[in-house]
Structure 1
Amino acid sequence: MYVLIVGAGQVGRTIAANLERSHEVAVVERDPRIAEDVTYAHDVLTVTGDGTALETLREAGLERADMIVACTDAGKTNLVVCGTAKTATDAFTIARVRRHTMLETWEGAEGAFGVDFMICTDLLVARKIVHLSGFPRAQDVETFAGGLVRMAEFEVGPESPLVGRRVRDSDQYGSVTFTGVFRDEELLVARGETRFEDGDRIVVVGDAESVGEFGIANVPEGAASTDDVVIVGGSEIGYQTAREFEFHGFEPRLIERDRDRARELAEALPGALVVEGDATDAEFLARERVDEADLVVAALDSDGMNLLVSLLARRIGANRTVAIIDNTEYVDLFEIVGIDVAVNPREETAEEIVRFTRTDRTEKIAMLEHDRAEVVEIELDPESALTGRRIDESVADLPGGVVVAAISRGGRLVVPRGETVPQPGDHAVLFVDAAVLDEVSAAV
């Protein structure tokens, strides 16, 4: 597949890095310095120029492109790129936007803007946060197989009963499959003899109930449920997050400093309590009982302010904090200093776009730990290396970094074990070390 990416910011570069081994990739970037960096860092064709100009797109290979990804930081620019591209090609176009109003317009008018698929970053992030709230002890959560399967990442603390135990001795949580362990900079594919240590980040896959029970039993810190949600910041992400919580039956509290914006949000969010105030004031937070919150979401327009608010919330007693972080390089730092979960909108967007570049049988992907591993849902066909054979036999013929984590068969969850035989049409959820992803994808 020939993929033409317009915009070499964090989203564009993440997509290019993910695709360069398995696809032909061209990147269009307006800034000459950034374009030069991309040229040296990635095995892609780089064109310096304006991606809204047909001449620039043609220089980057527009006529032979199978897919065009417009992912600059400006949503309107991305729409123009797609519209321009459609004047000369029938390639599949993807546009990244920030505001949900653009998404609603596109959904209401088939083929609008020349966009085949539109990704609203703020809505993606909001839904991610709501998914995380359903597993109060998880650092990352994704849903597969139409909601039948959950993937969750948990950090093992010193008080966890898992410390010192082997995987084979911990297999007691219904449908849960242990898939991978991130230990400092090392990735361990979970095997029966793998022994857990304090500080490990464990990835498990199973149905929602079993994964939730696993988290409660083995990650004892924090609340067991999320009922009281406080959102700090009436940014577009803050608004979308409050709206998503409303949709799922919550009554979130939203704190906004600007009076006019707070009034606007109060009218738009009838199921939320909107409070005008400064969330960097510890006394204000105490008066508003933020210390009693199960979850505090810092959704201001500044990484530094989100860090400050999150630390203040934890200091006065809030159970769990989620911070929106624009700079990818800060994500690990924020979690090191005590933020429970840092969500990067650009990483979420890149992950969603990459899914469209995979084979037709790839239903969904989740990138873990900055794409050191992926959880992939694939529909198996008769030619798959997994089909018609026991899992313990077929996996032995695959590269060492893969685990069959779950199987959906006719809307029913099949817990995979060594003797399980996958069938054509099954949806298999796989944990795969990114280093062997291309080999595994070709085989299954």
Structure 2
Amino acid sequence: MKIIIAGAGEVGFHLAKLLSYESQEITLIDINKESLSYADNHLDIKVIKGDATSISILKEANVNQIDLLIAVTASETTNITACVLAKQLGAKRTIARISNTEFIQNKDEVGFTELGIDELISPESLAAAEINLLLNKSAFNDSYEFEEGALTMVGLTLAKTASFVGKTVKEAAELFNEIHFVPIAIQRFGTQFTIIPRGDTEFKEGDNVVFITSEGGGEELCKMTGKSNAEIKNVMVLGGSKIGYKTSRDLCTKNFNVKLIEKDKDIAFDLADELEKVLVINGDGRNVDLLDEESIADMDAFISVTGNSETNIMSCLVAKSKGVKKTIALVENMDYFELSQSIGIDTLINKKLLAANNIFRYIRKGEVVAMTKLNNMNAELLEFKVKQTSKINNKYIKDADFPRSAIIGGVIRDGKGYIALGDFKIQKGDNVVVCCLPRSIKRVEKIFL
């Protein structure tokens, strides 16, 4: 695909890096010379210095020939304008990064598609939604829902007490009469290799395992692994950023008790005015005495979303030492994901990764409904819509020419999720959730074309 990315900031650079690895034809536009220079020296892409809202700059980037324009500058106005201009100049599809979530909520009413913007994404909203989902699935360190929970991806680390440690996938499945979950990816403790499990794959202590679950599967996994999906009611949020604001606001609507700590006095007062049901505290969340005064030991969850990754990590570690059951830290450095298991924080989230996941489904071939990259694993989870022309249509899974480095996790049919094994017959209209390693993506895409 020919793709223009407007904005060489953290999201734009990360997208450009991921897409360049896949041999996509990328042009990166930014007014910042230093950002472009770094991208030009580290990535195999074309760079253009200039304003993405300039018609001459867009023409220089051959906008009339591109398949997709992704506008992810820090300016919401720039992103919207660039998309509108690009569509008028011949771009096939456009995506704009925005911060005002009202735009997403009223997308159809305003008619953004008619204006020339095919999709709106908000990294901050995606991060807030991810936090909400993780609090509702408190036993797990990673989670993602397909079709409003018809199927759910959950990740957890196997303790020695887990009932299926030492057993193969096939043996573990036999512990339940009716299966409501299936493992789709395993990372062995202390390694960076991702395994797509088969029936003879053995579960080991310390494995980081990702499962697809249908209704009831989460409870079965908790029972088998000795983990508890404890109710979370009292939440402390550190940082009054856009993510902190959105998270606190959303949690209050679901009747959570929320305390929000913000260091900046003016921001704290503004937040207190806007978030009537949130107890806003003006103070430094790195101060352990302050956390103790605010009864951190009584919290069920601690979420740190300041602009500093190290502050977020350290404050979560303090919360863990005080007995908080669930900790979530926002980090900007992708390398920190490798530390999440060993340092003791339940979940690390990254805006760049969430935005990239949301955008990537527009790059994949076949009708991709949803997509996510697995945290700290070299694998993708894709939801394909089965068409009449798809090679897998009207075939049993066992008869499909599926690569060994990919696995079907489940099927959604008429809104209901199924854990689909070899004798399950795929039909037109099904949504099929597939986990695959990078080397098998093109082959999997062809099956669903």
Deviations 1:166-211 (A, max 9, x none): 1112114631011110122111111111111222110100225312
Corresponding residue for residue 390 of structure 1: 396
Shift of 1:94: 1.1
Deviations 1:72-111 (A, max 9, x none): 2343432342244345235322111334366568676323
Q: 2:145 aligns with which of 127, 143, 147?
A: 143
Q: Note if contact 2:137-2:229 (Cα within 8 Å) is conserved in structure 1.
A: no
Q: Note if contact 1:156-1:219 (Cα within 8 Å) is conserved in structure 2.
A: no
2:395 is equivalent to residue 407 of structure 1:
no
Corresponding residue for residue 209 of structure 2: 202
Q: Note if contact 1:145-1:377 (Cα within 8 Å) is conserved in structure 2.
A: no
Q: Note if contact 1:228-1:252 (Cα within 8 Å) is conserved in structure 2.
A: yes
Whole-angstrom CA distance in 1 between matches of 2:352 and 2:428: 35
Q: 1:326 aligns with which of 328, 332, 351?
A: 332
Q: 1:160 aligns with which of 159, 162, 179?
A: 162
Q: 1:263 to 1:226 in 2, by over 3 A?
A: same
Shift of 1:345: 0.7
Matched residue pairs, number? Answer: 441
Q: Note if contact 2:338-2:376 (Cα within 8 Å) is conserved in structure 1.
A: no
Q: 1:72 to 1:422 in 2, by over 3 A?
A: same
Shift of 1:119: 1.0
Q: Note if contact 2:337-2:375 (Cα within 8 Å) is conserved in structure 1.
A: no
Q: Note if contact 1:324-1:344 (Cα within 8 Å) is conserved in structure 2.
A: yes
Whole-angstrom CA distance in 1 between matches of 2:18 and 2:264: 40
Whole-angstrom CA distance in 1 between matches of 2:375 and 2:120: 25
2:192 is equivalent to residue 191 of structure 1:
no
Q: 1:314 to 1:7 in 2, by over 3 A?
A: same
Shift of 1:152: 0.8
Q: 2:304 aligns with which of 298, 301, 316?
A: 298
Corresponding residue for residue 420 of structure 1: 424
Shift of 1:259: 3.6
SS at 2:373 equivalent: strand
Matched residue type, 1:158: K
Whole-angstrom CA distance in 1 between matches of 2:311 and 2:115: 35
The worse-fitting range, judged by mean Cα deviation, of 234-243 and 156-165 is: 156-165
Corresponding residue for residue 288 of structure 2: 282
2:179 is equivalent to residue 177 of structure 1:
no
Shift of 1:328: 2.2
Q: 1:14 to 1:279 in 2, by over 3 A?
A: closer
The worse-fitting range, judged by mean Cα deviation, of 236-245 and 56-65 is: 56-65
SS at 1:178 equivalent: strand
SS at 1:170 equivalent: helix
List aligned pairs for 1:29-68, cutoff 5 A.
29-32=30-33, 34-39=35-40, 41-68=42-69
2:245 is equivalent to residue 245 of structure 1:
no
Q: 1:279 to 1:217 in 2, by over 3 A?
A: farther
Corresponding residue for residue 80 of structure 2: 79
Whole-angstrom CA distance in 1 between matches of 2:359 and 2:101: 17
* Structure 2 residues without counterparts, runs of 5 or longer: none
Whole-angstrom CA distance in 2 between matches of 1:68 and 1:240: 27
- TM-score between both structures, scaled by the size of structure 1: 0.91
Matched residue type, 1:193: D
Deviations 1:349-375 (A, max 9, x none): 111111222346210011113561111
Q: 1:348 aligns with which of 354, 359, 374?
A: 354
Matched residue type, 2:213: G
Whole-angstrom CA distance in 2 between matches of 1:151 and 1:363: 15
* Structure 1 residues without counterparts, runs of 5 or longer: none
Q: 1:314 to 1:31 in 2, by over 3 A?
A: same
- TM-score between both structures, scaled by the size of structure 2: 0.90
Corresponding residue for residue 224 of structure 2: 217
The worse-fitting range, judged by mean Cα deviation, of 317-326 and 377-386 is: 377-386
The worse-fitting range, judged by mean Cα deviation, of 319-328 and 159-168 is: 159-168
Q: 1:402 to 1:341 in 2, by over 3 A?
A: same
Shift of 1:9: 3.5
Q: Note if contact 2:193-2:378 (Cα within 8 Å) is conserved in structure 1.
A: no
The worse-fitting range, judged by mean Cα deviation, of 407-416 and 254-263 is: 254-263
Shift of 1:129: 0.5
Matched residue type, 1:345: K
Whole-angstrom CA distance in 2 between matches of 1:125 and 1:44: 28
Corresponding residue for residue 4 of structure 2: 4
Deviations 1:229-284 (A, max 9, x none): 21112111101001121233323222223343333223322333323333222222
Whole-angstrom CA distance in 2 between matches of 1:223 and 1:412: 23
Q: Note if contact 2:3-2:67 (Cα within 8 Å) is conserved in structure 1.
A: yes
SS at 2:209 equivalent: strand
Whole-angstrom CA distance in 2 between matches of 1:89 and 1:332: 42
Corresponding residue for residue 233 of structure 1: 239
Identity of aligned residues (%): 26
